[in-house]
Amino acid sequence: MERVGFIGLGIMGKPMARNLLKAGFPLTVFNRSRAAMDELARDGAIAADSPMQVAQQSDVVITCVSDSPDVEAVVLGENGILAGGRTGMLYIDNSTIAPATSRKIYKALKAQGMDALDAPVSGGDIGAQQGTLSIMVGGDEAAFQRSLPILQAMGKNIVHVGAAGAGQVTKACNQIVVAMTVQAVAEALTLAKKSGVDPAKVRSALLGGFAQSRVLDVHGQRMIDGTFEPGFKLNLHRKDMNIVLQTGKELNLPLLGTAQVTELMNSLLAQGKGELDNSALITLYEFLAGL
Amino acid sequence: MERVGFIGLGIMGKPMARNLLKAGFPLTVFNRSRAAMDELARDGAIAADSPMQVAQQSDVVITCVSDSPDVEAVVLGENGILAGGRTGMLYIDNSTIAPATSRKIYKALKAQGMDALDAPVSGGDIGAQQGTLSIMVGGDEAAFQRSLPILQAMGKNIVHVGAAGAGQVTKACNQIVVAMTVQAVAEALTLAKKSGVDPAKVRSALLGGFAQSRVLDVHGQRMIDGTFEPGFKLNLHRKDMNIVLQTGKELNLPLLGTAQVTELMNSLLAQGKGELDNSALITLYEFLAGL
């Protein structure tokens, strides 16, 4: 069984690492703050002093951190994964970052005889805990095959989409669709409310037809209840949207709807609502509608 | 069994009227052009000379026409339904029109002792043929109960959403969600293509997660195949979006995303693509992306 290293024990990373332990993988962990490492150590993991040390003690190293600069620092920085790795090591990044950064890291590791996969996840903390994450993977086919027993311990719907960066592109597409569908549902339910029609009945009627979506189902209910516990936090979704828009700029691709919904997210963050679920977008529409 | 009248034998109305005949309702029909009336007459319907005559010979009168002015003319105009109706007549409008027009007609008929339901449908010509339309109904409860045996001959998911106009409001909400979800999927799949990632794999990956929707499933496939036979034509969807935006204006409701996607539809109509399915929105994004 491969020795696995896991870096980044946050709201997603900690339960993912725990699922690797449950599946029997020998596990070395690193996290900037100590508490989460101690918790995993009590479950049988070895705590390391740096990403470099994790790499030295592992065949496969996984990261799950916040953004592109974090991944670059952990992989390419001082005491990083690249410094501790050797030929044959496989690096898997479960973070959501810029496709361009994933491609850069892939090349840096390949040049040292190591493999790399970008493998962002979707499904939230519940999916992480239950091991039911969707995982979108970019990279070489052999590396993907090698990663499968590990990814299957953390997720269910695991798709090899294409070459390095393709996993991040797919995640970007996912975030576009979710954000714009949330906006669609927010506009529709605000129109219903402002018209004096029960939004709950509208949601039910629409779920039976062509407007059906998981967002209408789950977020629509949250909007009707006015309960915005995350879920997926607005400040994280906004971070992902910035990646999408930056990627769009590099491609000279005008993402009109994506840009608009990101501007609305900016307003929600300005109002101090970044810790709320992204369905809280409806509160902005209700304000705009004088409700 | 109630005697039913049906006015407007277009791509939707003709198969709906035929389903009423199949269910055994005595049926009188009227249509501006003769051919569709003759067809229904061969199936057992009686052809009338005017909407007024339809109303004179029916207990329940249904319309399925194009837009608010058409409905106003057919109901309130010379030789219209109001002129031919009497106390106790039930009027059901399956057209998609402005909620304000539906409320105006409701009041005009009520003042003459008649009942009225706004009951726009969703599900396209296939749903009309198979009798599986979703029907969103606004109006009085007693009228809704009376209408059920008739509506059940044409549709399956039949919801009484609220008072007069509520059916049209619900349909407006439906059209918002569908249009903006189509735009979301178009932006996502264009990003994938421009990034060199297979849009078909992205669609599959996203269908397994939170971005799932019927639009991603059905329209996503059409966008990937580049086949835009309707389906639901852009010029009809744009007509409905104009109703939505007009309703928003009356409510002082800023429908930011709805407005944007309608502007994009305007461009598609300017390009002569109004007869294509609304999934052809992606052709505009592909042009914008230099693809």
Output the DSSP codes for chain A.
---EEEE--STTHHHHHHHHHHTT--EEEE-SSHHHHHHHHHTTPEE-SSHHHHHHT-SEEEE--SSHHHHHHHHHSTT-HHHH--TT-EEEE-S---HHHHHHHHHHHHTTT-EEEE--EESHHHHHHHT-EEEEEES-HHHHHHHHHHHTTTEEEEEEEESTTHHHHHHHHHHHHHHHHHHHHHHHHHHHHHTT--HHHHHHHHHTSTT-BHHHHHHHHHHHHT----SSBHHHHHHHHHHHHHHHHHTT---HHHHHHHHHHHHHHHTT-TTSBGGGHHHHHHHHTT-
Q: What is the pLDDT at residue A150?
A: 98
- Tens digits of per-residue pLDDT, B211-224? 999 999 999 999 99
* pLDDT > 90? residue B32: yes
Chain A contact set for B178 (CB, 8 A): 210-211
Which residue is catalytic, options B14, B104, B171, B193? B171
CATH of B169-288, one of 3.40.50.1980, 1.10.10.10, 1.10.3210.10, 1.10.1040.10: 1.10.1040.10
Distance between B278 CA and the closest CA of chain A, angstroms: 13
Both structure tokens of B36: 């569709």
Going from the C-alpha of B209 to that of each of A120, A156, B50, B172, B198, the distances in angstroms are 13, 10, 52, 27, 18
Contacts of A32-36 spanning 24+ positions with Cβ under 8 A: A36/A9, A36/A10
Distance between A8 CA and the closest CA of chain B, angstroms: 23
CA distance B17 to B11: 11
Question: Taking a C-beta distance cutoff of 8 angstroms, is the pair B273, B261 a contact?
Answer: no
| B171 in catalytic set | yes
Q: What is the pLDDT at residue A134?
A: 94
Kindly determine whether residue B190 and residue A123, on different chains, have CB atoms separated by under 8 Å: no
Domain ranges for chain A, please list them: 4-163, 169-288
Residue B99's identity, in one-letter code, is P
Residue whose structure tokens are 């493999």: A115
Distance between A166 CA and the closest CA of chain B, angstroms: 6
Percent residues over pLDDT 90 in chain A:
96
| End-to-end Cα separation, chain A, in angstroms | 58
Check the CA dihedral B274-B133-A202-B216 and report its sign: negative
Residue of A170, A181, A185 lying closest to B197 (CB–CB): A170
- Tens digits of per-residue pLDDT, B3-21? 999 999 999 999 999 999 9
- Tens digits of per-residue pLDDT, A73-105? 999 999 999 999 999 999 999 999 999 999 999
The residue-averaged pLDDT of B36-51 equals 97
pLDDT band at B147 (very low <50, low <70, confident <90, very high): very high
Q: What is the pLDDT at residue B192?
A: 98
Kindly determine whether residue A191 and residue B173, on different chains, have CB atoms separated by under 8 Å: yes
Chain B contact set for A194 (CB, 8 A): 251, 253
pLDDT band at B151 (very low <50, low <70, confident <90, very high): very high
Chain B contact set for A208 (CB, 8 A): 134, 157, 159
Contacts across the A-B interface (CB distance below 8 Å): 248
Kindly determine whether residue B260 and residue A256, on different chains, have CB atoms separated by under 8 Å: yes
CA distance A213 to A82: 42
Which residue is catalytic, options A104, A171, A239, A273? A171
Chain A contact set for B102 (CB, 8 A): none
- Tens digits of per-residue pLDDT, B215-255? 999 999 999 999 999 889 999 999 999 999 999 999 999 99
Question: Taking a C-beta distance cutoff of 8 angstroms, is the pair B145, B117 a contact?
Answer: no
CA distance B265 to A217: 27
10 Å CB burial of residue A217 (0-12, 13-18, 19+) is middle
- Tens digits of per-residue pLDDT, A228-273? 998 899 999 999 999 999 999 999 999 999 999 999 999 999 999 9
Residue of A183, A192, A248 lying closest to B191 (CB–CB): A248
* pLDDT > 90? residue B124: no
Q: What's the predicted TM-score (pTM) here?
A: 0.95
Distance between A94 CA and the closest CA of chain B, angstroms: 16
Q: What is the pLDDT at residue A85?
A: 98
Residue of A174, A204, A260 lying closest to B206 (CB–CB): A174
* pLDDT > 90? residue A281: yes
Percent residues over pLDDT 90 in chain B:
96
Kindly determine whether residue A187 and residue B247, on different chains, have CB atoms separated by under 8 Å: no
Residue of B184, B202, B215 lying closest to A161 (CB–CB): B202
- Tens digits of per-residue pLDDT, A177-191? 999 999 999 999 999
Chain A contact set for B254 (CB, 8 A): 288-289
CB neighbourhood size of B73 (10 A):
14
Residue of B172, B192, B253 lying closest to A169 (CB–CB): B192
Percent residues over pLDDT 70 in chain B:
100
The residue-averaged pLDDT of A21-45 equals 97
Q: What is the pLDDT at residue B231?
A: 84
The residue-averaged pLDDT of A137-158 equals 97
Distance between B211 CA and the closest CA of chain A, angstroms: 5
Kindly determine whether residue A209 and residue B123, on different chains, have CB atoms separated by under 8 Å: yes
CATH architecture assignment, domain B4-163? 3-Layer(aba) Sandwich (3.40)
Q: What is the pLDDT at residue A235?
A: 96
pLDDT band at B123 (very low <50, low <70, confident <90, very high): confident
Chain B contact set for A179 (CB, 8 A): 184
CA distance B222 to A137: 25
Both structure tokens of A140: 């070489």
Both structure tokens of A156: 């269910």
Question: Taking a C-beta distance cutoff of 8 angstroms, is the pair A43, A23 a contact?
Answer: no
